Structure 1
Amino acid sequence: MQLNVGITCDSPRQLNAARQLACRLGLPLLTPSVNLDRLTITLVLSAQRLELHHPELGAPLFVDFVRGAMGYRRRQGEGRKQPLARAIGLKGNTCPHVLDATAGLGRDAFVLAMLGCPVRLIEQSPIIGALLEDGLARARKTPETASIIAHMTLMQGNAVDWMRTLNTQDFPEVIYLDPMYPERTKSALVKREMRLLRILAGKDENASLLFETALRCARRRVVVKRPRPGTPLAGPKPDFSIESKITRFDVYLTR
């Protein structure tokens, strides 16, 4: 699917920043003379944040680690007994270095950083990466979240290519993968946000290669997030799985 994406701002004060972002992402900077009806996706830069607008979204999509769902999880103080933490291998005071090779909107990485893990995030989509970068930058300036964000390092690029450059001594302890879930036959069952992320990320054609590379690089384990009733990724069987109400974490021990 061909995407028609453009960048605009809601104030003349943001014009220079919007122009720089458009140049970095290789996207057109929208002006009143541009026919907006031809666009399927618009990135809007305001003084507060970067938002993604799309006809299917009921509200703009943006990354917020301070308020909303992530703010609620932070205030609730979910501990190491939650399924994600157990799958990653958090025990006692252990805080393994984690590579989140499919960062997306960074929600799971934020939870791991909140629990003390240093997390390197890699996101292949430049548009999703820009939204995530903006969310991290705003949270870094907020006292309640600054210490958490200090544990998170974002890279935009191809995770397979990056892992192939690593020397053995630089391999991450844990690699976390959240590949796109299989398409469902009834599109109404898929959240609008997830459908849009699937469009932005493109077809998940490299999932098997990413999985194979992760198994070679992880010093302790690879954790793959799957829908609870879904099948594991093609390849070796997981050593064990940890389930939540709607999600399953398949764990592959590498050492």
Structure 2
Amino acid sequence: MPEQSSVIGVAAASSEQQPAAERLAAALSLPCYSLDQIEQGLLLLLQADRLVLRQLGPDAPGPVMVDFVDGKAAHRRKFGGGRGQPLARAIGLKNGWTPRVLDMTAGLGRDAFVLATLGCSVEMIERSAVVHALLSDGLRRALADPEVESIAARMRLHRLDGRDYVAPPDERPDVVYLDPMYPHREKSAKVKKEMRLFQLLLGEDQDSAELLETALGIAGHRVVVKRPVKAPPLTERVPSLSIGSPNTRYDIYLTGPRHADA
């Protein structure tokens, strides 16, 4: 689905970043502002060392960025449970099998990074130009960090609508991973800041069923769909099996020979 008009443009946090902000704005076909020109709206802000998505105005949540080095990514890398965690089991990571994964809805790239940490080569697809820019910035910083550069090197990013994906010859992914946006019915104050901004930016996925059908025709062994634990399956198609955690469920659709039981 096309991006909504809530992103009003790009700005630089200081004059030193202004030329780079102007180049980014041109690449995204967005206007470039100085911060004193605007008071409200959703803005890509180029800081000294990173790119962030920021909402301006009263009661706005904090900025969102892609960070594979510190914060949640570092915690999951160090304490996430390895191949025994639900995501890894859903992907099929055990008995010595390390699949090639296509993440068809990359978002902030957190699950893709977890899988790359566990040894998978991960191809990420993101159709939003704004989210793709955030991901590109996060990967750039990760590749420059000695502690995670080898992990980031296993991640490739493409700006593409998943429905248009064509697997390169002899590189059909073993697993296709889907984490579609879904409607949040909680009061806005309770919704994570990342989801609040993503809802403003992208709205809800209206073509998740099409993505699933595309994924089923691509995946060599399985498609894994991330869902809220109490949500129904993505479509009327019944999953082969599911793996749950306290807040999340992974619906698994087997498409070929299994290297390991889930």
For the aligned pair, the TM-score class normalised by the smaller chain equals over 0.9
Instruction: Report the more deviating stretch, 101-110 or 59-68.
Output: 59-68
Match in the other structure for 1:135: 138
1:197 correspondence with 2:181: no
Kindly indicate whether structure 1 or structure 2 has the higher relative contact order, using CA contacts under 8 Å at least 6 residues apart. Answer: 2
Identity of counterpart residues, as a percentage? 49
AA aligned to 1:123 is E
5 Å-filtered alignment, 1:160-239, equals 160-162=163-165, 165-166=166-167, 169-184=170-185, 186-239=187-240
AA aligned to 1:81 is G
TM-score, with structure 2 as normaliser: 0.90
1:115 correspondence with 2:145: no
Match in the other structure for 1:82: 85
Is residue 6–residue 30 contact of structure 1 (8 Å, CA) maintained in 2?
yes
How many residue pairs were aligned? 251
Instruction: Tell me which of 14, 25, 36 is aligned to 2:38.
Output: 36
Q: CA deviation at 1:156?
A: 1.1
Is residue 102–residue 177 contact of structure 1 (8 Å, CA) maintained in 2?
yes
Q: CA deviation at 1:46?
A: 1.7
AA aligned to 1:109 is A
Report the secondary structure of 1:20's partner residue. helix
AA aligned to 2:55 is H
- Across the aligned residues of Structure 1 and Structure 2, the Cα RMSD in angstroms comes to 1.8
Q: CA deviation at 1:169?
A: 4.0
Gaps of at least 5 residues in structure 2 are 257-262
Aligned partners of 2:116, 2:122: CA distance in 1, in Å? 6
Q: CA deviation at 1:2?
A: 3.3
Q: CA deviation at 1:158?
A: 0.6
Aligned partners of 2:189, 2:130: CA distance in 1, in Å? 24
Post-superposition CA distance 1:24-72 (Å, at most 9, x none): 111101136x7403x4111111221111111454322111111111111
TM-score, with structure 1 as normaliser: 0.92
Gaps of at least 5 residues in structure 1 are none
Aligned partners of 1:76, 1:203: CA distance in 2, in Å? 31
AA aligned to 1:160 is R
Match in the other structure for 1:158: 161
